[in-house]
């Protein structure tokens, strides 16, 4: 079925379902064509998001809960992955895998336009960088815009010090999905009056963050990092003191884990005696 027809059918089906829910339409079940279109969309979207399959231009059609796959891949692993993804979609009962495996197959070179999967990857990377900058206690004077294209992050805006700018760049480059960073942050020192400084100090002193919140943020920062095995680190917090436990691959990874934890807002100190390599 033509992709545009699928979209029209799916859109029409959604309208019918909504109408039925409100009593406008009497239909009590979703037509099979709508179910097929939904399943086809799920499979195709997963292929588009997969870094292992997105370049292969695979096609999918679904009829009566049976998925038919077409295209070319370079190995059996990719072929099996395509089948497993299709079988993983709800109510798919059968997969007719007509994908051809060719060891000499070379996917077409990507164009200057990003694919759907690459757009999603870049959006996730940008969000992860923004998240890490937002919860770092050493980048509070940062006003940064984050743009990502093909894994290349562009930082624009202002930082209140050279150290804050440099830290922002390091946080960005160590984020999962980031290939490079162009740090164009301008250093603009913030001038505070004595009264403003006193108010800021008082606010900071009175802002006590819950230990559970700090633990969750430290774990999240680790998981977003491309150079720290966050799943291998146990994190506990007591009165702002973060304790790290686990075994990592190297001293450099351990040092980075400690630095990332120390930078999280609300962390008073980090105890890493039990963090080994």
**Domain 208-276 part of CATH 1.10.1760:** no
What are the residue ranges spanned by the domains of the chain?
A: 3-101, 116-187, 208-276
User: What pLDDT, on the 0 to 100 scale, is given for residue 113?
Assistant: 81
The residue ranges of the chain whose pLDDT is under 50 are: 2-5, 7-27, 193-196, 198-207
User: What pLDDT, on the 0 to 100 scale, is given for residue 11?
Assistant: 43
Q: Are strands 241-247 and 233-238 parallel, antiparallel or unpaired?
A: antiparallel
The pTM assigned to this predicted structure is 0.63
Q: What is the CA radius of gyration of the chain?
A: 25
For the CA atoms of 44, 45, 49, 55, the dihedral, rounded to the nearest 10 degrees, stands at 30
Tokens of 242: 């973060």
29 three-class SS:
coil
User: What pLDDT, on the 0 to 100 scale, is given for residue 28?
Assistant: 53
pLDDT tens-digit series, residues 227-269? 888 778 999 999 999 999 999 889 899 999 999 999 898 899 9
Buried b (16+ CB within 10 A) or exposed e, 154-166: bbeebbbbeebbe
User: What pLDDT, on the 0 to 100 scale, is given for residue 208?
Assistant: 54
């Amino acid at each position: 079925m033509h992709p545009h027809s699928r979209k029209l059918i799916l859109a029409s089906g959604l309208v019918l379902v909504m109408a039925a829910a409100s009593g406008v339409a009497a239909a009590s079940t979703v037509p099979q064509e709508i179910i097929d279109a939904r399943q086809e969309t799920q499979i195709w979207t997963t292929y588009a998001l997969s870094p292992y399959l997105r370049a292969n231009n695979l096609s999918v059609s679904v009829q009566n809960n049976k998925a038919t796959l077409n295209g070319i891949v370079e190995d059996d692993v990719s072929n099996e992955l395509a089948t497993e993804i299709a079988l993983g979609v709800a109510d798919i009962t059968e997969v007719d895998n007509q994908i051809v495996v060719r060891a000499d197959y070379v996917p077409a070179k990507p164009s200057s336009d990003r694919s759907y999967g690459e757009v999603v990857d870049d959006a996730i990377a940008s969000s992860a960088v923004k998240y890490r900058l937002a919860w770092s206690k050493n980048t509070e004077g940062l006003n940064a815009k984050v743009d990502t294209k093909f894994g290349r992050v562009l930082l624009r805006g202002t930082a209140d010090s050279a150290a804050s700018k440099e830290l922002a760049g390091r946080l960005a480059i160590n984020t999962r999905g980031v290939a490079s960073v162009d740090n164009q942050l301008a250093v603009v020192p913030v001038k505070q009056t004595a009264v403003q400084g006193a108010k800021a100090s008082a606010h900071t002193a009175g802002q006590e963050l819950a230990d559970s919140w700090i633990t969750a943020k430290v774990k999240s920062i680790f998981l977003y990092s491309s150079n720290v095995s966050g799943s291998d680190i146990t994190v506990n917090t007591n009165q702002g003191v973060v304790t790290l436990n686990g075994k990592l691959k190297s001293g450099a990874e351990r040092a980075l884990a400690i630095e990332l934890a120390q930078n999280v807002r609300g962390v008073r100190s980090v105890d890493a005696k039990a963090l080994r390599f």
